[in-house]
Amino acid sequence: MYRFLQNLKIASYIVVLAALLGIGLPLRLSAQIVGATLSGTVTDTSGGVVPNADVTAKNVSTGISRMTTTNGSGLFTIPNLQPGPYEITVAAGGFNTDVRSGISLNVGQELVLNFTVKPGMAVQKVEVNAEAPTVNLANATLGGINDSTTVAELPLNGRSWTDLATLQPGVHLSQDQPPINAGDRIKRGLGLELTISGGRPQQNNYMLDGVNINDYANAGPGSVLGGNLGTDAVAEFSILTTNYAAEYGRTSGGVISAVTKSGTNQFHGSAYEFLRNSALDARNFFDPPVIPPFRRNQYGGSAGGPIQKDKTFIFGDYEGVSQGLGTTSLQNVPTQAARNGILFFQGTPPDGCSAIAGNPSQCQLTVDPNITKFLNTNLIPLPNQPIPAGSNAAQFGFQAFQITRENFFTIRADHNFSERIASSPRIFSTRRRRASRTNTRPSSFTTLCSARWWP
């Protein structure tokens, strides 16, 4: 806990520094990668376009508004809107004000929303509570969205949010991947291996708040346990399978783009602990009568809220895993007869092996007394599994116990300077350790600072 508080203190300093950098170095970011884009046309009842109409998109959760004006063709575009519920208002001189609520925007969504305003006084409002169109009219991209309800409520073994990607059509889990502790797994990456629209797992692109998070093998991100912590910090994520726009790049497979939660005008939070242990497990075929011990405690909490209403927000999430895993391992060892030089054979006896009278399938080797001393030590134990008939070797089974600890936390701050300038610094930190290894995996500490500016 002391180390966590120390890291949290350092993180708060970096958040402030990143926010100051965001003020001084505003960047124009792509609208489709992180935020949603709202576009459409404003016309009157006769079908004529309405230029110079004010279009305002207000985030209901944060109270933050973004405004633009239609051009000479009645067209408008509001890019980089934070995912969430919105209220859209259209106002023009000589026309009633049109207010449309109940509009929900998702990560990377390009929503086309057209308005028809009626002649009248601007003080008169026409309010409509309706959902956004379900048909994508902006492009031919195929994919889907896993919203916050899906991420929070569906059961996940290990609480890895990337496991939910398989809910979308065209996304399949690679069934032939080796276990997470196998040597061959290092070449493939430690994360979930997904094939999207028939592509290889290493052809996918994973993004978090618009930043690529593919691992060293260009595969999905994953910890030493093979998962991705921080489920409570993920607001939603999209899976783009086909025909996605060029700004995503870096991939010939699919795109998995997630966005972290942010604070709102209402304080909200969560706390949890999940338990798995060997008392709930079934016995493996190779296990001894006693099931190998297994304990996993997964715990954490999150909280978010306003620092200054309608202007500055903060959100933080912490998750820890403590796991003790016992596994049954099998090794091939020589039988007691083989140690004494008595071997089974088929056909011609091996060179130097004299046939034993009365037993044509066995022969006797001369055993060097020096090797006998080596064979009779604990370095090569005797078999404790059934010995197959006619075999010179059998298996020795033993239980190994591995302790793994992992800590993850993230902090996100959002500050809106005006309707055209905003800054959103974020910090992610992960520390992992396996006690069965002589070395400790180093901590990863990442700072992301994005500033947004709209002309």
Question: What CATH number does residue 429 fall under?
Answer: 2.170.130.10
pLDDT of residue 131: 62
Report residue 284 as tokens. 């493996």
Same domain membership, residue 204 and residue 149: yes
pLDDT of residue 135: 62
What percent of the chain has pLDDT above 90? 16
d(CA 164, CA 167): 6
pLDDT of residue 19: 45
Phi first, then psi, for residue 200 (nearest 5°) are -75, 155
Query: Does 421 fall in a domain?
Result: yes
pLDDT of residue 445: 40
Report residue 356 as tokens. 């034993």
15-54: burial string, b at 16+ Cβ within 10 Å, e else = beebbeebeeebeebebbbbbbbbbbbbbbeeeeebeebb
d(CA 146, CA 338): 59
Stated as kind and residue range, the H or E segment containing 16 is helix 2-24
pLDDT in tens, 282-341: 777 777 777 778 888 999 999 999 999 989 999 999 999 998 888 777 888 998 888 888
Query: Does 179 fall in a domain?
Result: yes
Same domain membership, residue 240 and residue 183: yes
The CB density around residue 270, as the number of other CB atoms within 10 Å, is 12
The CB density around residue 325, as the number of other CB atoms within 10 Å, is 18
Mean pLDDT value across residues 228-233: 88
Same domain membership, residue 270 and residue 310: yes
Q: Which range marks the domain in which residue 279 is found? A: 142-324+401-453
d(CA 23, CA 452): 10
Query: Does 28 fall in a domain?
Result: no
Same domain membership, residue 258 and residue 168: yes
Q: Are 77 and 70 in contact (CB under 8 A)?
A: no
Residue 11's pLDDT band (boundaries 50, 70, 90)? very low
Q: Which residue matches tokens 């999430």?
A: 317
Q: Is the pLDDT of residue 139 over 70?
A: no
Query: Does 10 fall in a domain?
Result: no
Query: Does 20 fall in a domain?
Result: no
Output the domain CATH number for residue 124: 2.60.40.1120
pLDDT of residue 253: 85
Residue that is last in its domain, among 78, 108, 129: 129
Same domain membership, residue 170 and residue 97: no
Q: Are 402 and 435 in contact (CB under 8 A)?
A: yes
User: 155 CB contacts (<8 Å, ≥6 apart)?
Assistant: none
Residue that is last in its domain, among 129, 156, 189: 129
pLDDT of residue 384: 85
Same domain membership, residue 194 and residue 168: yes
Helices (H) and strands (E) in the chain, counts: 4, 25
Residue 51's pLDDT band (boundaries 50, 70, 90)? very high
Report strand pairing: 97-105 vs 75-81.
unpaired
Residue 247's pLDDT band (boundaries 50, 70, 90)? confident
3-state helix, strand, coil in the chain (%, to 5): 15, 45, 45
Residue 136's pLDDT band (boundaries 50, 70, 90)? low
Mean pLDDT value across residues 86-90: 92
Phi first, then psi, for residue 49 (nearest 5°) are -75, 155
pLDDT of residue 298: 92
pTM of the prediction? 0.71
Residue 138's pLDDT band (boundaries 50, 70, 90)? low
Report strand pairing: 205-208 vs 255-260.
parallel
Query: Does 293 fall in a domain?
Result: yes
pLDDT of residue 235: 87
Q: Give the chain's domain count.
A: 3
pLDDT of residue 29: 40
Same domain membership, residue 153 and residue 44: no
Same domain membership, residue 334 and residue 318: no
Q: What is the pLDDT of the chain when averaged over all its residues? A: 79
Stated as kind and residue range, the H or E segment containing 69 is strand 65-69
d(CA 306, CA 267): 7
Same domain membership, residue 286 and residue 165: yes
Nearest of 53, 58, 35 to residue 43 by alpha carbon: 53
Same domain membership, residue 342 and residue 209: no
Same domain membership, residue 51 and residue 68: yes
Mean pLDDT value across residues 47-59: 92
Q: Are 411 and 16 in contact (CB under 8 A)?
A: no
Query: Does 6 fall in a domain?
Result: no
Q: Is the pLDDT of residue 437 over 90?
A: no
Query: Does 24 fall in a domain?
Result: no
Residue with the bigger pLDDT between 10 and 356: it is: 356
Same domain membership, residue 317 and residue 353: no
Report strand pairing: 84-91 vs 97-105.
antiparallel
